[in-house]
Structure 1
Amino acid sequence: MKNVKQCFKRKSLTCSVLVGLTSISGGSWAEDFTSALSGGKTNADFNLRYENVAQDNALQDANALTLRTRLSYTTGNVSGWSAMVEMEDTRIVLGQGDYSVPQTAYQSGIYSVIADPEHTELDQGFVQYSSATFSAKIGRQVIAWDGQRHIGHVGWRQDRQTFDGFSGKYNPIDALTLNYAYLTQRNRIFAEAQDQDSKDHLLNAAYLTSVGKLTAYGYLLELDNSTDNALDTYGVSFVGSSMVGDTKIVYAAEYASQSSETGVANFDAHYMLLEAGAVLSGITGKLGYEVLGSDNGSYGFATPLATLHKFNGWADTFLNTPAQGLVDTYASIAGGAMGGKWLLAYHTFAADEASASIDDLGSEIDASYVRAYGANYTVGIKYAAYSGDSGKVDTDKLWAWVSAKF
């Protein structure tokens, strides 16, 4: 344990993995350890994607053709212990790199932003223990909880988000799941340019009922730097479904309160979600109302570790909540056609606490079609059209991709 602590003090995930592997291989486990290494599993994951961004401003239209490759190796199991190493790489293909990534200083201020920098890095590297009721990981890992509204992997981007630290899951009974994680580093989606040292505590408890899942959580975030800071969020959610005749009714509700403390200011804000829908004859329709509240127009409810692309429109206009807050009223319809799945969505946006210049925040139309070919291949196309207001810029985005997993 002393060696593990020293590794994390140096922020070395490779060291953490090696310490764990060394502990497994000691003593009478030598033969089992060798068998686990030789009998492990390799995986490959490729994603070739074209993205175009056009905005009604002075920036040139952006075009990116990038290939993301992930190669991983997972050992066999030795008395509940195993380990996994995964490398990730993104390359610009055929010279189609006319885009900006300001966070890495790549062509800043020339083109619209496409947040897929070229990079090669350790995506995951952890030692894991698993039993019938308990599992734990130490090292660099993906953590994605509860639809990823608060904690996610930002998997839409080519360089996904991972975390360095410890996570554990305990199932004392089948219906109850208790999760805890302590994070020492947030590995963000901009190669290594904006990774953040942290002292984050994540707590999540979920209870499964016959009509849905009830979850309570507390996410206590703190950057490990020279300033006093804290971002604490406590909330509860319920997500489920019920049958009414031949119709499946789906529903979700969530409420959270948040306090943000810095060396110069303290803020409080709330979050609320109400969503309802129905599934009939293979067609799913939903209506939703989401509020990321504001503290008197000076601070908006923040979810910095979320998979933000999944929420508030695919044009990514609201990756950072405005200080006036955000109210997203939306409707979606989804179904199947020609062996694939399609989705249409419409959003209207407004400020939670309007000011003289910030009130209506525009609207957006999103559409996608995705089809899988067998167990290994997927193709997709997706489009987002945001019409801005209150100073927000009109934005159109188009994606087309092919992925393969082995």
Structure 2
Amino acid sequence: MKRALLLASLALSEAAFADGINQIWQDSSLKWNFRYRLEQVQPDGPLEDALASTLRSRLTVNTGKWTLASNQSISALIEADHVAVIGGETYNNTVNGLSKYATIADPDGLDLNQAALLFKAGDSSQITLGRQRLNFGDQRFIGSVGWRQNEQTFDGIRLTQSFGSAVQLDLASLHNANRVFGPDGTNADLHGRFNLAQAQWMVKPEHVLQGYFYDLDFDSLIARSSSTSGLDYKGAAQGFKWQLALANQQDAHLAPTNYNVSYQRMELSYPLGKVTVKGIAERLGSDGKVAFQTPFATLHAFNGFADMFLTTPVNGLREHAVQLAFPLLKTKATVSWHRFNSDYADIHYGNEIGATLAYEVNPQWQLLGKVAFYQADKFQADTRKFWWMVTYQP
């Protein structure tokens, strides 16, 4: 009798297992994404003009959920990117050795962009384990650098916990950053121990407050080991939208220099008819020896499209910018002007003018054109950059 009960139990377990596998398979999804980009860089000085013609093909697989208990489940995510050069390779992609050309950081190759297990523990908690995309806040400190063809992703564990609809806590413990310079080469990875914490409180839908603490302990980039804490407030009223942010950064772990520098950002926008005007003032502080750094930021979204300030100069950075956003026929257009100065020693670095033109043909096809003109004074060299991009999502 006991043997019969055991066999029956095993049969039910096998049936449940088979049903679970079948459900995961049926609920799985597969998505493709293709992005072609032509990028040209024209610098004054010794470097030759660079031209990169690249196609990124992305495959994303999300499995169905394996139900563990009520409101508890496990699923998996796998995402691969392949970057191919279309035509000749006349640019320095950081690993091809073509140093006579200006740099365009889009190396070719196949990369495992994401590979993670997702544990759902109730309606308000999720744990993600493995390689994953992280975008914290506006990506000023932690982001995926989605503008580049090979994204930045991170290896580790992340906990997202909601407390009602107004409060969310994000915690992550990471041991590696898979950088945009990969998948090959010495700069493809940054190893260390990176502990991130962010809390968000939606006071009202138009008023959001974030607090964060980022502790970065690098194995090789020791000079960048630091702890950063700050607050970010975004609000809106009477058509105005604004952002106020401040942070403090100090040396940590084995960083060779003691320092304590600050960060501030103020942003205000208002629609004037069909034109939205935005003003930006940002400061990355310096003591004359060390400047505020953001090594994991989505940097292309800040301080101008020409990417002159991917590393904050030793004397820091102060930016004042004005942006106009408006519809142009069937497109969305922006024009911006930027003035860059040092935070320490009163140095005028240069100015930049940038513009974008975006057109959505339909939900599958999007077109983007972009230009940036950097005029140097006492930092870098005059540089012109041009982009033309087509994105297709089947």
User: How does the TM-score come out when normalised to structure 1?
Assistant: 0.88
- 1:202 and 1:314 map into 2 onto residues whose CA distance is 27
1:196 to 172, 178, 190: 190
> 1:99 corresponds to which residue?
91
1:111 to 73, 79, 101: 101
- 2:315 and 2:39 map into 1 onto residues whose CA distance is 30
Q: What percent identity do the matched residue pairs reach? A: 31
1:125 aligns with 2:115: yes
- 1:338 and 1:228 map into 2 onto residues whose CA distance is 49
Deviation of 1:28 (Å): 4.2
8 Å CA contact 2:42–2:384 kept in 1: the answer is yes
Q: Report the residue type matching 1:209 in the other structure.
A: V
Q: How many residues align?
A: 371
1:382 aligns with 2:370: yes
> 2:5 corresponds to which residue?
none
Give CA deviations for 1:162-182 in whole Å, capped at 9, x if unaligned: 001111111111100100011
Deviation of 1:290 (Å): 0.1
Deviation of 1:61 (Å): 0.3
- 1:147 and 1:225 map into 2 onto residues whose CA distance is 27
Deviation of 1:27 (Å): 9.4
1:279 aligns with 2:271: yes
Matches within 5 A, 1:252-267: 252-261=243-252, 262-267=254-259
- 1:382 and 1:260 map into 2 onto residues whose CA distance is 37
> 1:16 corresponds to which residue?
none
Give CA deviations for 1:297-354 in whole Å, capped at 9, x if unaligned: 1111000000000000000000000010000000001022222211011000000001
Deviation of 1:30 (Å): 4.0
> 2:281 corresponds to which residue?
289
> Any gaps of 5 or more consecutive residues in structure 2?
1-12, 68-72
Q: Which secondary structure does the structure 2 equivalent of 1:222 belong to? A: strand
> 1:21 corresponds to which residue?
none
> 1:172 corresponds to which residue?
163
Matches within 5 A, 1:304-383: 304-354=295-345, 359-383=347-371
8 Å CA contact 2:224–2:293 kept in 1: the answer is no
Deviation of 1:147 (Å): 1.0
> Any gaps of 5 or more consecutive residues in structure 1?
1-24
Q: Cα gap change, 1:228/1:148 in structure 2, threshold over 3 Å: closer, same or farther?
A: closer
Deviation of 1:225 (Å): 5.2
Q: Cα gap change, 1:29/1:249 in structure 2, threshold over 3 Å: closer, same or farther?
A: farther
Q: Which secondary structure does the structure 2 equivalent of 1:37 belong to? A: helix
1:89 to 82, 87, 93: 82
- 1:86 and 1:202 map into 2 onto residues whose CA distance is 23
Please provide the CA RMSD for this pair. 1.8
Bigger Cα Rg: 2
> 1:207 corresponds to which residue?
201
8 Å CA contact 1:99–1:107 kept in 2: the answer is no
Q: Cα gap change, 1:282/1:229 in structure 2, threshold over 3 Å: closer, same or farther?
A: closer
2:54 to 32, 46, 66: 66
> 2:260 corresponds to which residue?
268
Deviation of 1:78 (Å): 2.0
Q: Which secondary structure does the structure 1 equivalent of 2:66 belong to? A: coil
Q: Report the residue type matching 2:218 in the other structure.
A: L
- 1:284 and 1:241 map into 2 onto residues whose CA distance is 14
Deviation of 1:51 (Å): 0.4
User: How does the TM-score come out when normalised to structure 2?
Assistant: 0.90
Q: Which secondary structure does the structure 1 equivalent of 2:77 belong to? A: strand
Q: Report the residue type matching 2:260 in the other structure.
A: D
